[in-house]
Amino acid sequence: MYTGYQIYQAERPKSAREQQEIDRGNAKLVEAVARMWGLLARPVPRHQTRRAPVPGRPAPCAETSR
């Protein structure tokens, strides 16, 4: 019922104004996706696993701290 009209809309040539509106909408979508990807791809800060040395106790070897 409605699919025939959808096919007509998809196949008909767009005016310059319609194409500009479509391009603006696509640019906004790409910008939003890029912003989200940038937030997701940001490196996760790691917490310090080494503790401050206790006074009077020797510091651990670099080989054994791994």
Q: Read off the pTM.
A: 0.51
pLDDT of residue 49: 65
Who has greater pLDDT, 51 or 43?
A: 43
Q: Per-residue confidence at 43, pLDDT binned at 50, 70, 90?
A: confident
Least confident of 24-28, 33-37, 43-47, 56-60: 56-60
Q: Check pLDDT > 50 for residue 65.
A: no
Of 51, 45, 44, 54, the closest CA to residue 65 belongs to 51
**Which tokens sit at 29?**
């979508």
Q: Are 14 and 22 in contact (CB under 8 A)?
A: yes
Q: What is the largest CA-CA distance in the chain?
A: 85
Q: Average pLDDT, stretch 14-21? A: 95
